[in-house]
Structures are given as C-alpha cells and as structure tokens.
Amino acid sequence: MKCPYCSSSISLFSKTMNPPKGESSKCPSCSKELKMTLARGKFAAALIPLMLVVSFVLPSNVLLKILGAGAAAAIAAFFALKAERIGET
C-alpha cells in the first residue's frame, strides 16, 4: 500500500499502521495521519474468484465451506485495504 501524501510504500504490519485504541494510523515516512478504508471494487474482484475456488475445490462438508468462505473474505479484505488522507477537502 502507498501513502496518499508522500507515495512511500507502507507495510500493513508496521507499528505506525496498527496504533493503540484511540490513536490514528500514521505514515512511517512522513508521519501524517491516515484513514484505512476498504476499496469495494477490489474487495469484490478478489472475493468472487476466491469464493468460486472455495465452492468447487473444498469437499461438500458444510463446516469446511463456511470456514473457507470466512478465510476467503479475510484474504479479500486484506488485499482491498487502502490508505486515505484525513481532513483535507
């Protein structure tokens, strides 16, 4: 993911992107505040193929399909996260 202010690459697992409750996320390079959002188009584009794989590849055990669907949604959400600017019009 890239910072919307300085365009530097940001790791989702960095300490500044996962602050304690009550604090906002910050870019590790420029230290400006960021808001994390989910890009709906990217989420759908990642989720649909993953759900097709889950529905056809996993055996017909209902519990496995439910767990696979949850894992597919989590993976799709991870790839669809994006950083946005805070407080600028």
The whole-number pLDDT of residue 89 equals 43
- Total structural domains within the chain: 1
Side by side, which strands form the sheet with 33-38?
25-26, 33-38, 81-85
Kindly report whether the global pTM for this prediction surpasses the value 0.75. no
Amino acid at 85: R
| 23 lies in some domain | yes
| 7 lies in some domain | no
Backbone phi and psi for residue 70, each to the nearest 5 degrees, phi listed first? -65, -45
| 51 lies in some domain | yes
| Arithmetic mean of pLDDT, 52-67 | 80
User: What whole-number percentage of the chain has pLDDT above 90?
Assistant: 0
| 5 lies in some domain | no
| 39 lies in some domain | yes
Question: Which tokens is 35 given?
Answer: 């808001």
| 33 lies in some domain | yes
Domain hosting residue 49, numbered range: 15-85
Backbone phi and psi for residue 32, each to the nearest 5 degrees, phi listed first? -85, 150
Contact 46, 76 (CB under 8 A): yes
- Among all chains, which residue has been given the structure tokens 């597919």? 72
